[in-house]
Structure 1
């Protein structure tokens, strides 16, 4: 006799249209947007597209994780509403279709109390699923209004953010509106701040080795290091 779990066939990506269409929106973001004349950004965009195309073609397993919310997810509805009015409408609508199935988490062993109420991320594709992949991670980060996401970096991981809703800045260098892309090369220290009145929703992509993506070792920079980086 086989157990019920053994008799249930493993779901694949093509069995889950909402997840598949969400990946189509990621492909559109990294295919149709401008590279701004930057060769590193152009190379990164192509790397994400090519990796994603191979994953979709392989029809990977889908393992729905238990949904989980965090305090900041109270702002998700507003962020999706804003996204549907802006430059990344398709992504916002596709994400709304799976909003009740998302697993929001922090990614750090220790999260400052103030940040725990204003930040969370959800992985869509990657080692932690729900869409299984080893060499690419795609997901979303949600920030409440008036958030400072402290200085941090990612060892051996190249990261990009694309704004879905809300304005934000990185390292106090510029204000980024929906549709804009920021590339963080491996090891680059960066700090994110958001506007005072509306939440900010960012799509992100991580590329790197299978080993590093499975164990990214996320750490916030120490306050002393952050002050040195800012020249204080």
Structure 2
């Protein structure tokens, strides 16, 4: 007998988390940028369609990584800031998250300081072909090497901690980092606290399905 897949209507905590993502992309400022505003709108619409369609839930085996020893601190810090409601919704699905690396080859030491967990996308847990939503956790004093996503528009919201991208300012909780397709970006985190980010990737279905995560090669003589 074939087991009927679970759906959002039977898993309210996933639905609440999706709605928190949608609210984050509704309330977050676009800073006057039409490109950012358009990205926010497309992410919200993709989430709305997944909820309306009562998307299937594909359970992944829960999995931790070394960096998840910092997760409780990151969540606790997030409860004291403007992203509190998102953080509480994440906490409700915490036992079901699978923390991954996403790379075949990792720079030395990064496997101790980084991991991500998907919330929605072609690979689940919430099934959708229109957007990928997830979380990224960094330990203090992390450098995440330069990389780019071809064919995808990417954004991060800082949930706790602080992060800098390409040394262009510091993004505190509530801030958005926006990367158009193909833009190379390098991430660094603060010295004393972990950083938790929520992210969204949006683009064509083939781009979402075929995205390969690779780091840029560093030329000899350059840091």
More helix by share: 1
Q: Is the 8 A contact 1:119 1:141 kept in 2?
A: yes
Q: Is the 8 A contact 1:151 1:226 kept in 2?
A: no
User: Partner of 2:124 in structure 1?
Assistant: 129
User: Partner of 2:176 in structure 1?
Assistant: 181
Structure 2: how far apart are the matches of 1:191 and 1:225?
Answer: 17
Superposed displacement of residue 127, structure 1: 1.1
Structure 1: how far apart are the matches of 2:122 and 2:105?
Answer: 22
User: Partner of 1:221 in structure 2?
Assistant: 216
The structure-2 alpha-carbon separation of the partners of 1:124 and 1:24, relative to structure 1 and needing over 3 Å to count, comes to same
SS of the counterpart of 1:81?
A: helix
What are the residue-to-residue correspondences of 1:71-220 with 2, within 5 Å? 71-220=66-215
Q: 1:52 aligns with which of 34, 47, 63?
A: 47
Aligned residues: 223
Instruction: Tell me the alpha carbon deviations over residues 160-205 of structure 1, each in whole angstroms, 9 at most, x when there is no partner.
Output: 0000000110000100100000110000000000000000000000
Superposed displacement of residue 81, structure 1: 0.2
Structure 2: how far apart are the matches of 1:107 and 1:164?
Answer: 21
SS of the counterpart of 2:6?
A: coil
Superposed displacement of residue 225, structure 1: 8.8
SS of the counterpart of 2:4?
A: coil
The structure-2 alpha-carbon separation of the partners of 1:104 and 1:146, relative to structure 1 and needing over 3 Å to count, comes to same
Q: Is the 8 A contact 1:162 1:181 kept in 2?
A: yes
TM-score for both structures, normalised by structure 2: 0.97
The structure-2 alpha-carbon separation of the partners of 1:192 and 1:226, relative to structure 1 and needing over 3 Å to count, comes to farther
Say whether residues 1:39 and 2:34 are aligned partners. yes
Q: Is the 8 A contact 1:106 1:119 kept in 2?
A: yes
Unpaired segments ≥5 residues, structure 2: none
**Ranges of 4+ aligned residues in structure 1 off by more than 2 Å:** none
Q: Which has the larger radius of gyration?
A: 1
Unpaired segments ≥5 residues, structure 1: none
Superposed displacement of residue 226, structure 1: 10
Q: Is the 8 A contact 1:13 1:61 kept in 2?
A: yes
Say whether residues 1:69 and 2:64 are aligned partners. yes
The structure-2 alpha-carbon separation of the partners of 1:226 and 1:160, relative to structure 1 and needing over 3 Å to count, comes to farther
TM-score for both structures, normalised by structure 1: 0.94
The structure-2 alpha-carbon separation of the partners of 1:43 and 1:72, relative to structure 1 and needing over 3 Å to count, comes to same
Superposed displacement of residue 53, structure 1: 0.8
Superposed displacement of residue 85, structure 1: 0.4
